[in-house]
Amino acid sequence: MSTPDTCCGLVPYFRVQPGKLPEFKALVARFVEQTRSEPKCLYYGFSFDGDVAHCREGYDDAAGILAHLDNVGAILQEALQIAEVLRVEVHGPAAEVDKLREPLAGLKPQFFVLEPGALRR
């Protein structure tokens, strides 16, 4: 017996301004701490390749992504003062992705729809 996979991933990439990496990493610690209490968050963390930061994050469903963006909005605005968004991807099953198309349109994400039958444990 399997459970339908409603997991949604938000995949943003940022380029940090020269000399601002330590300041951005301080914001990363705040992002993680602020996210810690979110009940729909499955995983959350940042990885780096030089001045490019990637936030690896997954949520139970589309509502989890929207709740997260509301929760970290103020910190995100601070981050955007020292980093630019290179791209944003949204991954999830069609029904969940469709719930995100309008609310996330301003981020200009690329939407990836998960094929039915995906495995989740």
**Which pTM was predicted?**
0.93
- Considering just the CA atoms, what is the radius of gyration of the chain in Å? 15
The pLDDT assigned to 4 comes to: 75
Q: Rounded to the nearest 5°, which phi and psi values hold at 38?
A: -75, 115
Q: Say which residue the tokens 């930061």 belong to.
A: 53
The pLDDT assigned to 6 comes to: 84
Which two tokens mark 40?
């729909």
* Cα atoms found within 13 Å of the Cα of residue 100, Cβ hemisphere only: 33
8-16 and 52-59 beta bridge pairing: antiparallel
Residues 6+ apart with CB under 8 A from 12: 54, 55, 85, 87, 88, 89, 107
The pLDDT assigned to 5 comes to: 83
**pLDDT tens digits for the chain (121 residues)?**
567 788 999 999 999 999 999 999 999 999 999 999 999 999 999 999 999 999 999 999 999 999 999 999 999 999 999 999 999 999 999 999 999 999 999 999 999 999 987 777 7
Q: Is 20 helix (H, G, I), strand (E, B) or coil?
A: coil
